[in-house]
Amino acid sequence: MNKTELVKAIAEKANLKVSETEKLVNAFIETVSDELKNKGKVTLVGFGTFAVSHRKERTGVNPKTGQKLTIKSKDVPVFKPGKALKEKVK
Give pLDDT, residue 90. 87
| pLDDT for residue 74 | 96
Instruction: Specify the CATH number for 3-82; select among 3.40.50.150, 1.10.3720.10, 2.40.50.140, 4.10.520.10.
Output: 4.10.520.10
pLDDT at 69: 94
User: Using the 8-state DSSP alphabet, how is residue 64 labeled?
Assistant: T
pLDDT for 27-39, tens place per residue? 999 999 999 999 9
Q: In whole numbers, what is the pLDDT of the chain averaged over residues?
A: 96
Report the phi/psi class of residue 66: left, alpha or beta, with left for phi > 0 and alpha for psi in -120 to 50.
Answer: left
The domain ranges of the chain are 3-82
The pLDDT tens digits for 17-72 are 999 999 999 999 999 999 999 999 999 999 999 999 999 999 999 999 999 999 99
CA 52 remoteness from chain centre: 10
Number of Cβ within 10 Å of residue 7's Cβ equals 20
Q: Which residues contact 24 (CB under 8 A, 6 or more apart)?
A: 10, 16
pTM of the model: 0.82
Query: Percentages helix, strand, coil for the chain, rounded to the nearest 5?
Result: 45, 30, 25
